[in-house]
Amino acid sequence: MAWKPMVVINRMKAMKEVLLTCGEDTADRPPVPIFEHLGFKPRSQGQYINPNTMLKKATCNVIASLIFARRFEYEDPYLIRMLKVLEDSLTELSGLIPEVINTFPILLHIPRLADKFLQSQKSFIAIVDNLLTENRTTWDPAQSPRNLTDAFLAEIEK
C-alpha cells in the first residue's frame, strides 16, 4: 500500500495455510503513525499487553453511564478506588469464611466476625450510596429521566 510492501490473502484455504505455517511471520503489525502520535507506541518485543485494567474501567463507565448518567475519567481516583473496593469485595465473597458463614448463619451472631470479613462490602455499598444520593439530589421529577436511577425514582413516585 503506497510505499509499503503488502501481501493480500483472499481465500480461506490460503489464509489458514499462512497463519498455521507462517505464524512467526504474520504475528507482528507495522507501526501506525496515527496511533504513535496519540501515544500508543509499540511495546518491547516479547511482552504481552494486559487489557484488564482498561476493560474494567470501560465496563464500569458503561454501567455508571446507564445507572447514574456519569462517566469517570480513567485516572479519576474515585473510579480507581471504586474498582479496587469492588475487586476486594468480590474476593471477600468468594473466600472460605463467607462460605462457612453462609452455611452456618448462626456464626453471624459472633461479635465483629462478619464485620471483619465483609469490610469491602460495606465500603462498596457506601460508594454506591454516595452516587445514589448525588443522583437523587439533582433529580427533577418534572424532567425526563437522565438515567435508569431517575426512571426508577419516577416509578417509585407513581
Pick from 10, 29, 12: which is nearest to 20 by CA?
12
pLDDT digits (tens, 9 = 90+) for 103-134: 888 888 888 877 777 788 889 999 999 999 99
Q: How many domains are contained in the chain?
A: 1
Q: What is the pTM of this model?
A: 0.61
By CB atoms closer than 10 A (0-12, 13-18, 19+), residue 85 is buried
Residue type, 103: T
Stretch 65-91: mean pLDDT, rounded?
Answer: 91
Domain encompassing residue 36? 32-157
Report pLDDT for 47: 60
**Domain assignment present for 17:** no
**Domain assignment present for 24:** no
Percent of the chain with pLDDT over 90: 37
**Domain assignment present for 22:** no
Report pLDDT for 111: 84
**Domain assignment present for 4:** no
Pick from 129, 123, 121: which is nearest to 68 by CA?
129
